[in-house]
Amino acid sequence: MAHYECPAMKSFLPALLCFVSFTTTSFAADEFPLVEAKECRPRNGLPNFLAKANTPGAEVKIGYLGGSITAQSGWRPKTLAYLQKTFPQAKFNEINAAIGGTGSDLGVFRLKQDVLDHKPDLMFVEFAVNDGGAQPEQIFRCMEGIVRQTWKALPECDICFVYTLTEALAPAMLDGKFQRSASAMEKIADHYGIPTIHMGMEVAKLAKEGKLVWRAKLPKTDEEKKALEGKFVFAPDSVHPHPETGHELYLEAIVRSMEPIKAASKAPTAHPLGAPFIATNYEQAKLVPITDATLSSGFQPAPAEFAKRWSNRMSALHRAGSAGDSITFKFKGTRASIYDIIGPDCGQVSVTVDDQPAKLVPRIDAYCTYHRLATLSLGSELPDAIHTVKIEISPEVPDKAKILAKNGNKIDKPERFDGTAFYPGAILLVGEIIK
C-alpha cells in the first residue's frame, strides 16, 4: 500500500492538545445543545468510495486529515489494512495528513496542499479532540470550509467525520451525549449528509462500567495483570491510545459502522454543494508561500537539512534571527496567520495589524525542547477589508527557562536555546494578498 507522508509528522507533540480560545463567544460551554451519543450516523453513506473499492484493479486513495491520534500507528493504518482486506480487488493507498497538536483551524488551510492535491477517493476527518476547546461557531467555519473546499475541487470524494475521545472530554459521553466539539461537527455532517463515526463509544461504555483504566502502561507481567484485575488499559496518557488496546476499539467501531454505511449508500454521484450552513465558513481558506510577503534582507531560505524535514508542509520555509528583521504584507479578508516552526532557538516577534497596538508573541513554548509546526495568529473574524501586517523579530529574548518550566522541562544544553530565530513558511489566509 502506497503511503504519502511528511517527515514533520514524526515530530508531533505526544501529549499536547491544541485547546485554542477563539474570539467568538455566542455559546457558553454549558449552553450548546449536545447531540445524543450514537456510534454511527450513516446519513448518505459513502457511495463513490464503495463503488470504486468494488472495482477490480482500481486504485483507491484514502486521506486521513487529523491530529496526533491519527498520526499514531493506530486506527489509521489499522483501518487501511482492514479496507484492503475487505476489498482485495482494489489497491489502497494512504494520504497521511495528520499533524499532532493541531485542529480544524489549521486543517482547513492546509487541506489542498496536504490532501486534495493527492486526489483522495475518501477522506476521514479527525479533529474532535484537538477542537475540544474551540467555540462551536469556529468549528462550523472550519469543518464546513473543509467540506466545501473538498467538494468544490473533488465532487466525487466521499467524506467521513470520525470522533475520538480523551478522559478530559469523556464526561458528556458518560452522560449519553457527544462532547461539544463532536456535537458541533454533527451540525455540518447533518447539513451535507456526511456519515459520522464516534470511535469512542465503547471506550465510554467501559469507563461508565468501571472497567477502563484511562492512563497506564500495558501490563506485561502476571503481577501487573493481576493488579489491574482484568481492566482495559486505554492509553499511556489518557489521550493517545495504546495501538494494542484503545486503537483496536477505534478500529472495531469503524468495522461495525461499515454495514449501516453500506446500506445507506445509493448510486455513485457527485456531491452538490448547495447553500452553506454558515455564511462565514472558510471555503476560501488558503495557504500562501511566505515569499508572497515582503521579507527584509535578513530572511533567507532555511538551511537545507533543516528545511528538508518540513518540505512537504512548507516549500518556502525561511529563517531570520536578528532583531529588526521583518515581514510585511497587505491582505483583503477576514483571517490571517503565519504557518511557522517553533523551537529552542526561537525568540519572540512583535506583531502589528493595522493601527492596533503591537503585541509580543513568543515562538517558543513549554514543550519546545525540539522544533515543531505551529501557527502565529494575526487576526480572526476581522472586517472584510484591506489589512496591513508587520511582524518584526524583537530584541527582547523571552525567559526560556521559565517558559519550559511550565511543563517540567529544562534547558539541557544552553547553546541549543541561544538565539531569537523566526522560521516562517507560509501565510494562512481567508482572503487575498494585496500586492
Tell which residue, 330, 391, 405, has the closest CA to residue 363: 391
Q: Which three cell numbers stand for residue 141?
A: 467555519
Locate cell 484511562: which residue?
214
Per-residue pLDDT reduced to its tens digit, 21-39:
333 334 454 589 999 999 9
- The CA-CA-CA angle for residues 271, 2, 145, to 5°, reads 30
* Residues in a beta bridge with 336: 379, 429
Strand partners, 300: 319
Beta bridge partners of 373: 341
Question: pLDDT tens, 157-210?
Answer: 999 999 999 999 999 999 999 999 999 999 999 999 999 999 999 999 999 999
Task: Note down pLDDT in tens along the chain; length 435 residues.
Answer: 544 443 333 333 333 333 333 333 344 545 899 999 999 999 999 999 999 999 999 999 999 999 999 999 999 999 999 999 999 999 999 999 999 989 999 999 999 999 999 999 999 999 999 999 999 999 999 999 999 999 999 999 999 999 999 999 999 999 999 999 999 999 999 999 999 999 999 999 999 999 999 999 999 998 988 888 889 999 999 999 999 999 999 999 999 999 999 999 999 999 999 999 999 999 999 999 999 999 999 999 999 999 999 998 899 999 999 999 999 999 999 999 999 999 999 999 999 999 999 999 999 999 999 999 999 999 998 999 999 999 999 999 999 999 999 999 999 999 999 999 999 999 999 999 998
The long-range contacts involving 355-364, CB below 8 angstroms and separated by at least 24 positions, are 360/394, 360/396, 362/398, 362/403, 363/421, 363/422, 363/423, 364/398, 364/400, 364/403
> Pairing relation of β-strands 158-163 and 122-126?
parallel
C-alpha span between 241 and 263 (Å, rounded): 30
CATH number of 285-434: 2.60.120.260
Task: List CB contacts of 194: < 8 A, sequence separation 6 or more.
Answer: 43, 44, 147, 159, 160, 161, 188
The answer to whether the Cα torsion of 210, 216, 218, 224 is positive or negative is negative
Same fold, 3-264 and 285-434: no
The structural domains of the chain, with segments of one domain joined by +, span: 3-264, 285-434
In angstroms, the Cα distances linking 24 to 29, 140, 141 are 12, 11, 11
Residues 6+ apart with CB under 8 A from 408: none
What CATH code is assigned to 3-264? 3.40.50.1110
To the nearest 10 degrees (0 to 180), the angle between helices 246-264 and 75-86 is 40
The Cα-based distances of 393 to 351, 362, 398 in angstroms read 9, 10, 12
- Select from 12, 86, 19, 99 the least CA-distant residue to 53: 86
